[in-house]
Copies of this chain bind each other. A is one copy, B any other.
Amino acid sequence: MAIKIIVAGPRGRMGKEAVHMIHSVTDFELMACLDHKNEGKKLSDLEDFQDNFNAPIYTDIEKCFSEQRADVFVDLTIPEVGYKHTKAALNHGVRPVVGTTGYTDEQLEELKQLANEKETGCIIAPNFAIGAVLMMKFAKMAAVYFPDVEIIEKHHDQKLDAPSGTAKKTAELIQETRNAKKQGHPNEEETIKGSRGGDFDGMRIHSMRLPGLVAHQEVVFGGAGQTLTIQHDSMNRASFMDGVKECVYQVMDLDKLIYGLENIL
């Protein structure tokens, strides 16, 4: 029997892709969408969706959950909205798969308790790219054996911040298992300032910015006579949908809240 799904935010960039993905998977059935307008219309009444996209659109979440029996609720909106949606879904016993980030610790804690109470699965994932999440997971595992590690992340030159959020998150995860040490030769000297990269707890992070790059990261571990490299290359957002799909399957078997794709892979 198909997994019945409701999607919030169907006109957003991610939401639109999710709707199409759900339509393309035979195990999945799109029951309805939640939008802040277009009450009473069908998806096919909107631009970007073909005639056979006949899921009804609701603007009222309570009405939506009452009229449509669903197994999973996929939320690809924004934090303020996502928080309320997730609470409502849990209260209705519909398992949330949530892609929004930026929750406060209190909000997360509250949702966690609610999921436990209702014994209803819930996945909140700041990053749905399975490859990126595996890269971080493997990096954390490898750091147990290789305390010497450097990260080089490479992005297009329109990116404002350096290092990338993924690089920092990777370094934090590595920090949890790595024996802290100051890397490099104790007497090393930079003849050009900054060439040794940014220092994060003794490891080094390098940020490359060039036109033509999209979003790439290498985590390089070094030991006597060997190096181990874990690399993720992201070309476009298509990569996120595989993660959403995986979460829809896995949330069906959960009875509590999981934060981060790394904890289900």
Q: Which residues of A contact B (CB under 8 A)?
A: 129-132, 134-135, 138, 141-142, 144-146, 148-150, 152, 154, 157-163, 168, 183-185, 187-200, 204-214, 220-242, 246, 265
Contact = CB atoms under 8 A, between A and B. Distances in A.
A235 B235 contact: yes
Contacts of A239: 212, 223-226
A138 B90 CA distance: 34
A123 to B, nearest CB: 15
Nearest to A229: B231
A55 to B, nearest CB: 23
B157 A184 contact: yes
A203 to B, nearest CB: 10
Contacts of A185: 157-160, 209
Given A130-B146, A192-B205, 17 more contacts: A132-B226, A138-B138, A144-B265, A162-B188, A184-B209, A190-B198, A193-B199, A196-B209, A204-B209, A206-B206, A210-B221, A211-B222, A212-B233, A212-B235, A224-B241, A228-B230, A229-B233
Contacts of A159: 185, 188
A163 B148 CA distance: 19
For the complex of A and B, 7 pairs with smallest distance between CB atoms: A210-B222, A195-B198, A225-B238, A192-B198, A225-B239, A226-B239, A212-B222
Contacts of A130: 145-146, 223, 226
28 contacts: A138-B142, A138-B230, A145-B242, A149-B210, A152-B206, A154-B220, A157-B184, A160-B185, A162-B191, A188-B209, A193-B194, A194-B195, A194-B196, A195-B197, A195-B198, A204-B209, A210-B221, A210-B222, A212-B227, A212-B233, A213-B222, A214-B235, A228-B231, A228-B233, A229-B229, A229-B233, A231-B231, A235-B235
Contacts of A192: 162-163, 168, 198-200, 205
A199 B191 CA distance: 11
